Amino acid sequence: MSKKLYPKIEYSVVLFVILGVLLLVMPFSIENTTQAGFISKWNERLNRVEYMFSVLNAHITDDMLKSMKKAQTNIEREKLLLTIIKPYLRVKTDIRPPKRYKPKYMNGTVVNKKHHYYFEDFYFSKHNSIIGIKDIHTNKPDAPWFIMMFDINGILPPNRWGRDIFGIDIYENGRIEPFGYNSDMQSLKQDCSKNGTGIECSYYYKIGGGFDD
pLDDT tens readout for residues 53-88: 888 877 776 666 667 677 778 888 899 889 889 999
Decide which of 75 and 14 is more confident: 75
Mean pLDDT, the chain, rounded, equals: 84
Whether residue 24 has pLDDT greater than 60: no
Cβ atoms of 68 and 77 within 8 Å: the answer is: yes
Q: Is the pTM here over 0.85, yes or no?
A: no
Q: Report pLDDT for 65.
A: 63
Does 158 sit behind a cis peptide bond, omega within 30 degrees of 0 on the bond before it? yes
Whether residue 4 has pLDDT greater than 70: no
Strand order in the sheet with 165-170: 123-124, 130-135, 146-151, 165-170, 176-178
The number of beta carbons lying within 10 Å of the beta carbon of residue 176 is: 19
Nearest one of 13, 53, 65 to 178, comparing CA atoms: 53
